[in-house]
Structure 1
Amino acid sequence: MLSRRIIAIARGRAVVVNNRTSAIALTRGWYAPEAAQSHARKAKFHSSNLLQGTRRPEYWFTGFVPETVKVPQMAESISEGTLKSWLKQPGEFVNADEEVATIETDKIDVSVNAPTAGKITELLAAEEDTVTVGQDLFRIEPGEAGESESKPAEPKSDQTKHEETTPAPPEPSKEDVRKKDDSSVQESKEKKVAKETKKHEQAPSKEASKPKEPESLAPRVAFSRNETRVKMNRMRLRIAERLKESQNAAASLTTFNEIDMSSLMEFRKKYKEEILKEHDVKLGYMSAFAKASTLALKEIPSANASIDGSEIVYHDYVDLSVAVATPKGLVTPVVRNAESMSMIEIEKEIAALGKKARDGKLTIEDMAGGTFTISNGGVFGSLYGTPIINLPQAAVLGMHSIKERAVVVNGQIVIRPVMVIALTYDHRLLDGREAVTFLVKVRDYLEDPRKMLLA
């Protein structure tokens, strides 16, 4: 019997005794086909993940299997982004829905949150890497804070068991303790004296002790012709692409007009404190321009239209895109159904969208769509400007700074606060007559705000 086992082992076959594969054959990896099939059948009906091989060896004794978190779906038109930063590192604990990473896309920044509470075990991408939707991003080991300390202890080694069973040595006598303490004190004193002597001998002079300034800290020379290269972020790349597309596609033309802002400034000065107290919002000029624009768009519907192939799409609503400057670039969140809002409602919505834009919290839904755009370059001191159309829209209204100017009113020269406004329009949709009429109506509404109550 023994000789047959040895021959079978030599020929590479596993030896089966009492329906169990020989320990020798298993240990050395000698599996015959019959033995492998038997092992597979047993594993198939076994409920343990350990036998099935689905749990990685390093997690056999932890009680948890890490969960792989993938790059989330961002929007229909966005399939990839740049991993800008990791907010958590391996070994750190996170709560459910806590932000772990930030992905920058060409429109918004997407937050990746933890699906459950647990500990980050592995990061599967590096910062500045391009990641795609559905790609593995990081692994998290589910659990609560402090559970790592309460996990099952590892089996004790033979050495530990031997130490526990070995009797403790006898305690030293008082005389031995006293002698040991005296010798320790004497040794410490000798070491201290030797250290002080060595320090005194090796003390450098004052001139030698002065640290040399690194070359990198040397003062920069004017006109040194140095160059610095910085990679463009995805949002800036997308802005450049869309603006150039607008220049290439639209038949852009700009018309100007001037607005006497006296009445609107008086209106704002009279009611801004009351509105701030009652509605907790500051009354600005943007809401008045938005309201005047929605009323003018009702009369000139071509300015609120767009081109789709060979068709013109006329919108029965006004989704107003408001240009907002952020550190990463210009974004245009949308005020939905602005035509049905009051000035105070528009002001509240613009303030909320502006705050979200500056905090980097805008979503795709906040910026999708838009039928008409208002851009206020006046807040930065712009006096004149020709804004670029935000395709597929037909026009964009540009606001500028208010300057006191000598103007003629009823045959007399008077000082008036004047703003220059500009309308850039797509000549494929609007003729000059319609564009100029639109701008004149906006001017009339703003020079006498009471007219907006009659529209």
Structure 2
Amino acid sequence: MLSKRIIAVARGRGLLRAHNIQTAAISKSWSLTANHARRAQFHSSRLLQAETVKVPQMPESISEGTLKSWNKQVGDSVAADEEIAAIETDKIDIAVNAPISGKIVQLLANEEDTVTVGQDLFIIEPGEAGESPAPPKQESKPAETKEESVPKETPSPAADKVKEPVKSKNVEKAAAKEPKREEKSKQEPPKPVAGSRGETRVKMNRMRLRIAERLKESQNAAASLTTFNEIDMSSLMEMRKKYKDAVLKEHDVKLGFMSAFAKACSLALREIPAANAYIEGDEIVYHDFVDLSVAVATPKGLVTPVVRNSEGMNFVDIEKEISRLGKRARDGKLTLEDMAGGTFTISNGGVFGSLYGTPIINLPQSAVLVRQSMHAVKDKPVVVDGQIVIRPIMVVALTYDHRILDGREAVTFLVKVKEYIEDPRKMLLA
């Protein structure tokens, strides 16, 4: 009997031990499963939070552009609304901004690629701008648990392993940026060497291609004709000299010749409405307002921002608007709304030293006036009241679409502008 009890107790202890081992194994399995689940949930949550930014909607009929530059690289921290990339179209440059603060995870296009509206552009992971990248933080957690049993004086090998990837990433990032600088320097045209007969090919930017297309379209469509006239600038120059300091002090804007020509053209267009019209099909459309396109030279090409409703503006208002649009043009900040819908164009050819010029009409407009700058005003002998006197003379040219304007109307328009400029007081009575 005793032996049977001993055998039973032994079997019971064995079963208990097996049960304990099985329970420990199950507990360990649950713990590992829970850890994997937590890690999977962490990684999946980070992955789900990442946002793919697409090429933004562009104005009017523009559906594609060229990715000109990345302002940020993979791993860079960015703030909300910070500019990440610039896309060049045939009319304006479009900035792509970060929708949230975070870190750039991936760039999905290369510079000089053609990108379309709605195309995936880059991936951003949310976070505070300027915070350290997330992966090193994840790797540091196991290192801290291992260091608990290691004395503080002993350097932790795990900690060294954590630091190494950070350094290597920085090195890789610096190495990645270095070739780009070399590539950009290679793109710059080399300086010609004496006696060299080499050639350099540079791809036309989209704006230059569009300008070429529009100018050729104007040549093919419009029946262009140009008429010239000379304007005595004495009275206007005297008025400008007398009031320019007061205008600059009171309104913080320079009083130039452009405002006088803009006002004179606005008044002349009311008297010759055909110069402020355009052809659409078999109809002529006349405007009741004057939106002046003012030509501004930029590094990428000539642009024509619009001074709207110039017929109701005075000299100072026109100068302020031209100054504002000119600054935006030089900074590359013009929008499509700034350039759309002009009814008549004024260009300033003399700023580069030109004396005569025959401009090309900016379709669908019917006329364009070219005036020369102060540098192109030449002292000439003229007859005034039977006496030969020296006067500052400016040559102006009007190119017009002969399909809309007859020669009589075009010449009359230019004479009206001449009369207003030679006696600016007439503009106050008009």
TM-score higher than 0.5 here?
Answer: yes
Across the two proteins, how many residue pairs are aligned to each other? 357
What is the 5 A alignment of 1:327-346? Answer: 327-346=299-318
Secondary structure, counterpart of 1:435 in structure 2:
helix
Deviations 1:15-46 (A, max 9, x none): xxxxxxxx9xxxxxxxxxxxxxxxxxxxxxxx
Partner Cα distance (2:140, 2:243) in 1 = 77
2:101 alignment partner, one of 107, 117, 125: 117
Query: Whole-Å Cα distance in 2 between the matches of residues 259 and 70 of structure 1?
Result: 54
CA distance 1:60–1:405, change in 2 (3 Å): same
What's the offset of the Cα at 1:66?
A: 1.1
Q: Relative to 1, partners in 2 of residues 1:104 and 1:447: Cα closer, same or farther, differing over 3 Å?
A: same
From 370, 389, 401, the counterpart of 1:398: 370
Aligned to 2:333: 361
Paired residue secondary structure (1:317):
coil
The separation in 1 between residues aligned to 2:276 and 2:212, in whole angstroms, is 24
Alignment of 1:296 with 2:268, yes or no, is yes
- Residues 169 and 256 of structure 1: is their aligned pair in 2 closer, same or farther, counting only changes over 3 Å? closer
**Equivalent residues in 2 for 1:56-455 (5 A)?**
59-60=43-44, 62=46, 65-145=49-129, 147-148=131-132, 153=138, 221-400=193-372, 401-455=376-430
Segments of structure 1 that go 5 or more residues without pairing to the other structure are: 1-22, 24-49, 172-217
Structure 1 residues 113 and 260: CA distance shift in structure 2, 3 A: same
Q: Secondary structure at the match of 2:94?
A: strand
User: Shift of the alpha carbon at 1:412?
Assistant: 1.4
The CA deviation at 1:145 is 3.3
Q: What corresponds to 1:35 in structure 2?
A: none
Quickly say closer, same or farther: Cα 1:221–1:162, change in 2 above 3 A: closer
Distance in 2 between the 1:169 and 1:87 partners? Answer: 43
**Residue identity opposite 1:449 in structure 2:** P
Task: Report deviation, 1:154.
Answer: 5.2
Structure 1 residue 321 displacement after superposition: 0.1
Structure 1 stretch displaced more, 355-364 or 403-412: 403-412
Does the Cα contact within 8 Å between 1:102 and 1:112 map onto a contact in 2?
A: yes
Cα deviation digits, residues 363-385 of structure 1 (max 9, x gap)? 01000110000000111111000
Give the SS at the match of 1:282: coil
- TM-superposed CA distance for 1:411, in Å, is 1.4
The question of whether the paired residues in 2 share the 8 Å contact of 1:102 and 1:109 is answered with: yes
Paired residues of 1:64 and 1:141 also in contact (CA < 8 A): no
Structure 1 range deviating more: 219-228 or 430-439: 219-228
Secondary structure of the residue aligned to 2:49 is coil
Q: Hey, what's the Cα distance between the residues in 1 that align with 2:48 and 2:247?
A: 57
Distance 1:425 1:150 in 2: 64
Q: TM-score, normalised by structure 1?
A: 0.74
Work out the CA distance in 2 between the residues paired with 1:333 and 1:391.
Answer: 14
Q: Deviations over 1:77-136 (max 9, x none)?
A: 211110000000111111111101000111111111001111111110000000011111
CA drift at 1:334: 0.3
Deviations 1:174-231 (A, max 9, x none): xxxxxxxxxxxxxxxxxxxxxxxxxxxxxxxxxxxxxxxxxxxx99643321100000
Runs of at least 5 residues in structure 2 that lack an aligned partner in the other structure: 1-28, 30-36, 155-189
Cα distance in 1 for residues equivalent to 2:152 and 2:323? 78
Q: Which has the higher helix share?
A: 2
Aligned-residue offset at 1:65: 2.2
- Contact kept, 8 Å, 1:335 with 1:346, in 2: the verdict is yes
**Greater shift in the superposed pair: 228-237 or 64-73:** 64-73
Aligned-residue Cα RMSD (Å) equals: 2.8
State the TM-score, normalizing by the size of structure 2: 0.78
Contact kept, 8 Å, 2:77 with 2:130, in 1: the verdict is no
Partner residue of 1:199? none
Using the alignment, how far apart are the partners of 1:115 and 1:56 within structure 2?
A: 27
**1:331-386, Cα deviation, whole Å (9 max, x unpaired):** 00000111111111001000000000000000010001100000001111110000
Q: Secondary structure of 1:60's match?
A: helix
What SS does the aligned partner of 1:353 have?
helix
Q: Does the CA-based 8 Å contact 2:81-2:100 persist in structure 1?
A: yes
CA–CA distance in structure 2, aligned partners of residues 144 and 111 of structure 1: 22
Larger Rg: 1
- Structure 1 counterpart of 2:356, one-letter code: Y
Tell me if structure 1 keeps the 8 A contact 2:89–2:207: yes
Q: Does structure 2 conserve the Cα–Cα contact (< 8 Å) formed by 1:64 and 1:142?
A: no
1:60-87: CA deviation from partner (whole Å, max 9, x where unpaired): 3747621000111121121111000000
SS of structure 2 residue aligned to 1:238 = helix
AA paired with 1:314? Y
- The change in CA–CA distance for 1:359 and 1:147 in structure 2 (over 3 A counts) is closer
SS in 2 for 1:449: coil
Structure 2 counterpart SS, 1:374: strand
Decide whether the 8 Å contact of 2:77 with 2:131 is kept in 1. Answer: no
Greater Cα offset, 250-259 or 404-413: 404-413
